[in-house]
Structure 1
Amino acid sequence: MKKLYISTVAATLLLAASCKTDFENSTEDVVVTSGEANFSKYIALGNSLTSGYRDGALYSSGQAESYPSMLAMQMKLAGGGEFTQPLMPNNVGGFIGIPGFGGKYNLALVDVKDYTGAVTGKTLSPVQANPAAQLDVIGGAGKYFGNMGVPGAKSFHLVTPGYGSAANLAIGAANPYFVRFATSATTTVLADAMAQNPTFFSLWIGANDVLSYSTSGGTNSTTIGGVTTYTTATDQTGNTNPATYKSNDISDPNVVAGSIKAVLDGLKSKGATKGVISNIPYVTSIPYFTRVPYNPIPLSAASASALNANFGQLNTALTSLGQAKRFVTLSSASSNPVLIIDKSLFDIAPYLPANLKMYGQARHATSEDLILLTASGVIGIDPTTGLPPAPTSQTIGGVTIPLADQLVLTKTEAAKVKTATDAYNTAISNLASQYGLALVDANAKMRELNSASGILWDGVKYTATFVTGGAFSLDGVHPTGRGYAIIANEFLKAINTKYKSNLPMISPNSYSGVTFP
């Protein structure tokens, strides 16, 4: 597979022109010491962010630039041992022939397609490749890996027996990535970590406990046998049994805290009392939720007038039913809001004629709503053809018909995500203090990346802007190699501060940026 690395020339020129680092610790003339830590056996636990997942897949060259592998490289300078990863068999990712998942699991490497839409203009739209190989089992009795990041894992999955059982795939109770490297069908991620008798660990888990809800637009889905059904997701407050969760539920904060504590207790029982743990960024500040604006619709004066007449009638109907108006007055401008479904609204469909029932819980989006990256391939498209609409078309995605519920995270749904994330992070901070661990504030670093100023390294600016910001890969969720290097430096800083070590920082500019298949 041929890949084109962008910004490499520009970064090289900037590096040559600048001798000043904008990070706190220089990588030059560092006397490397382990301080109070012992890095001889380092293991990393977590989810896709730990595994090196990016571009919508776990693939071998991406794994080579996982943040744990970067940490292990610096730890080796201070007495660290060998660090192994369950490398994928190819550079595409994904699996075919997986029972219970429509024959394949996880989408493979993301491409970015340009198309010219009659309404939205030229837009970047992610397109998935087909998985490249059958599931290959490389684990088994006595086979251990230092990087134990499992894409898709939620906090409680780390302590769930059978999560690595191939027999459980058909019922959705196992994860193919853990099936690949689990030591047995009955083990847990934690048990396999404990069996290695680590001297130092990193733990970054909990993002998927809100991410799956967020990336599905606040809908709940269950996929068994290749059939996906969606229902409205509900908060899990009071439900402390993960076995009853649907796949996209927000995990109860007590479950997340209890699962992380169980991991820490298990590691401590094997003498691993020193490590680093990270909190959870607000997932709603990553490109997947910020790339597509809420108001990307340009309209002519004639189109705006015609739409306003229709939406005005709907607003009149709403008023007669004692409901607030939901539709704005559109204008002949390039920044009109998209139509969305908001399941928190009173459903007026029973009071509407058949051709208008789609507007039962519809409204125009506001700046507080988040339009998902996947909507970029739908907005301004005729849903019956998948193409830009013909001049006479009356069906245009996000303009005359609402976007599907799973393409939008409404302000109400986004608030639920923030509330859960805050609860998770409070628990993680308390546990870091209770167990005497180094703490990474990934949430603060994500907010910094999402700011206009971004983060600088030797003159190269990194932001959370989709594609051009350099820190996030084509899936809009996971970092590039450079983004993972920024994360690795935050872990290194936290380790050095807590354990009086002096592990050198690494240069994000030395790693790969955005890649196109």
Structure 2
Amino acid sequence: MKRLKTYLFALLPLAFITFSCDEEDILVQEQLDNNPLPGAETGDGGVLDLSNYISLGNSITAGFMDNALYTNGQNHSFPNLLATQFAIQGVGGGSFNQPDINSANGYSSAGPDNNPGTSDDLGRFELSLAQQRPVPTQGEFFGPYAGDMSELNNFGVPGMKITDATNPGFANPYYLRFASNPGTSTVLGDALSTSPTFFSYWLGNNDILGYAVAGGVDESSITSQPNFQSALEQSLGALVQSGAEGVVMTLPPFVLLPYFRAVPYNAIAFDADDQALVDQLNTSFAGLNQALDGLVQLSAVLPNVNVTQAEADARKVSYALGANPILMEDDALVDYDRPGGEFDILLATQQITVAQRQALAPYGQSRPATAQDLPVLTSATVLGTTVGGSATAVVGVSVPAYDNLILSVSEFETVVEMTATYNATIAGVVAGINAQANGSITLVDVQPAFADAFGLSPALANALFDPSNGANPALAAFADAAEARADGTLGIMIEGHNLQPDFAPNGIFSTDGIHPNPRGHAIIANLIIEALNNQKGADIPMVNVTALRGILARDF
């Protein structure tokens, strides 16, 4: 009986369909008549010829994300998303080929053995929800591109500076895997050989970002303004002279990236069980603090000593339960440990002993971090570790955190000012070319979207995007546009969702804290589409941002 009932219940839906299909057909037709299904999506390219679109740029253009170049990231690069919209009926776009990496995880580093191409290679990062931090997957070293290099459209090269695009000696492994003639060809030349009708150009990020990501250690890594301008003029001039039109993007405010915001300046935490350790540390640093006060006193009587009380106080170290500032190196400070410097003067005037002088040596350019200092994301794996296995030598606590772990206030200012200099240069070069080429280039300013996403106040947006305080008209215009979008609310509203400027599950950045995730790439693509629609008479459909994935995460 039970088995018979099972069959009967299984037949009920069929019976309903059989005996009510005529009535249902009528209802469905009425619904279609009142609410017709949307037809195939269409658009309009306006005056643009998008039939052969090429992209020129660095890691973002390539689709690098989660600290690696991998297949899914490439598929979600903003140029690929743009090309998909350009291919919609009526817009006029053609095929878009990328130098596929053909790897699910890609390659981020050589792993423990420091030997690329071995079994311990590391790949893309994922967010570990259990550990609350990015962790690497197993990777695989990439090989040469196996496709037809003459058919490529995406010429994004991770790590490429603006001057590299025209350099035949550019030996970047990501470029060499698809270069038409390694050692002779250039990225720009390969791109031009495809006879583009339209281009996107986003270079210049690495010309200052490399300095910032490395904690501001090497100023020689920053591209000079004259070299930046010369390379920009050469590349854009060649692209426009080829007959192509295109878009050029400004540089974003790098100091806002999650890479510089994930680790707080006061990351040294002590709980109630650490009171004895706190007392021990304060006893240890009493000598440094007294020496600093001694320098203030000597400044009143010795002409070769000039230490104010404010400077001494800024260098003093003390700890308490709760969150404490990271003890850091700051190469912008006067080095008290230099030969003949302030610490030597204390010894010479018998203010300290030889042993005390030796104990002061590590603190010649140290101070506790402030809220204006930006620890880099990679500092999280170094802070709190011991030096040489000594329990009393702890990085960021008793040993100053190395210069490459923190972007200091002065280094922060260097990044802001150089980014603004580059952006003013971009605006000037684009305006100059447009004056001679009938507006062939559309300038897309990405800064207002960043001001919105990061919840800047109008005043902060102005200071960040125009350090010239109105002296440079291009920067003043950028600042005005950013102020208009700066609402003071963290996150950017997209399709009814508040997406956050981080690599959390509802964020727009990938787990490396620098590169956008697919949703972030879609936002960039839409900024470009919006500009083309407004300035070129186009009607290109927008990318559905929230239909794309955010970060890659795992439970363990």
Shorter-normalised TM range: 0.7 to 0.9
Matching residue of 1:52: 63
Distance 1:131 1:254 in 2: 39
Distance 2:373 2:324 in 1: 14
Structure 2 counterparts to residues 150-189 of structure 1, below 5 A: 150-163=157-170, 174-185=171-182, 186-189=184-187
Matching residue of 2:349: none
Secondary structure class of the residue paired with 2:247: strand
Distance 1:259 1:279 in 2: 15
**1:28: how far off?**
10
Query: Which runs of 5 or more structure 1 residues have no equivalent in the other structure?
Result: 1-26, 116-122, 164-173, 221-232, 235-248
Distance 1:255 1:447 in 2: 28
Matching residue of 1:334: 322
Secondary structure class of the residue paired with 1:487: helix
Cα-to-partner distance string for 1:298-323 (whole Å, 9 max, x where unaligned): 23444444333433421332343443
User: In the alignment, does 2:443 pair up with 1:443?
Assistant: no
Task: Tell me which of 200, 207, 210 is aligned to 2:208.
Answer: 210
Distance 2:254 2:212 in 1: 8
Question: Structure 1 counterpart of 2:261, which letter?
Answer: T
Matching residue of 2:87: 76
Structure 2 counterparts to residues 66-465 of structure 1, below 5 A: 66-77=77-88, 78-94=91-107, 103=116, 108-112=123-127, 124-129=132-137, 131-138=139-146, 143-163=150-170, 174-185=171-182, 186-220=184-218, 233-234=219-220, 249-272=221-244, 274-299=245-270, 300-321=274-295, 322-323=306-307, 324-325=311-312, 326-328=314-316, 330=318, 332-349=320-337, 351=343, 353-384=357-388, 393-434=391-432, 435=434, 436=439, 437-451=441-455, 452-465=489-502
Question: Structure 2 counterpart of 1:203, which letter?
Answer: Y
Question: Structure 2 counterpart of 1:258, which letter?
Answer: S
Distance 2:451 2:194 in 1: 35
Secondary structure class of the residue paired with 2:490: coil
**1:379: how far off?**
2.2
Native 8 Å contact 1:96 1:104 kept in 2: no
Secondary structure class of the residue paired with 1:424: helix
Native 8 Å contact 1:34 1:501 kept in 2: yes
Distance 2:49 2:133 in 1: 46
Cα-to-partner distance string for 1:229-273 (whole Å, 9 max, x where unaligned): xxxx35xxxxxxxxxxxxxx111122222211111111122111x
Question: Structure 2 counterpart of 1:439, which letter?
Answer: L
Question: Would you say how many aligned residue pairs link Structure 1 and Structure 2?
Answer: 437
Cα-to-partner distance string for 1:462-486 (whole Å, 9 max, x where unaligned): 1213324420111000111111111
Secondary structure class of the residue paired with 1:254: helix
Cα-to-partner distance string for 1:34-93 (whole Å, 9 max, x where unaligned): 111110010000000101110000001110000001111111121111000001021122
Question: Structure 1 counterpart of 2:251, which letter?
Answer: I
**Cα distance change on mapping 1:28 and 1:487 into 2, 3 Å:** farther
TM (norm. structure 2) is: 0.73
Distance 2:321 2:201 in 1: 48
TM (norm. structure 1) is: 0.78
Native 8 Å contact 2:127 2:551 kept in 1: no
Aligned-residue CA RMSD in angstroms?
A: 2.7
Native 8 Å contact 1:471 1:483 kept in 2: yes
Native 8 Å contact 2:51 2:94 kept in 1: yes
User: In the alignment, does 2:40 pair up with 1:42?
Assistant: no
Native 8 Å contact 1:51 1:149 kept in 2: yes
**1:384: how far off?**
4.4
**1:440: how far off?**
1.6
Distance 2:210 2:501 in 1: 20
Secondary structure class of the residue paired with 1:425: helix
Higher relative helix content: 2
Distance 1:175 1:510 in 2: 34
**1:332: how far off?**
3.2
Question: Structure 1 counterpart of 2:65, which letter?
Answer: R
Question: Structure 2 counterpart of 1:404, which letter?
Answer: Y
State the percentage of identical aligned residues.
Answer: 34
Distance 1:103 1:487 in 2: 33
Distance 2:255 2:132 in 1: 19
Secondary structure class of the residue paired with 1:500: coil
Distance 2:207 2:417 in 1: 12
**1:160: how far off?**
0.7
Secondary structure class of the residue paired with 1:271: coil
Query: Which runs of 5 or more structure 2 residues have no equivalent in the other structure?
Result: 1-37, 296-305, 344-355, 456-488
Secondary structure class of the residue paired with 2:324: coil
**1:133: how far off?**
3.0
Secondary structure class of the residue paired with 2:415: helix
Distance 1:65 1:345 in 2: 44
Matching residue of 1:508: 545
Distance 2:109 2:254 in 1: 29
Native 8 Å contact 1:457 1:507 kept in 2: no
Distance 2:334 2:214 in 1: 21
**Cα distance change on mapping 1:73 and 1:402 into 2, 3 Å:** same
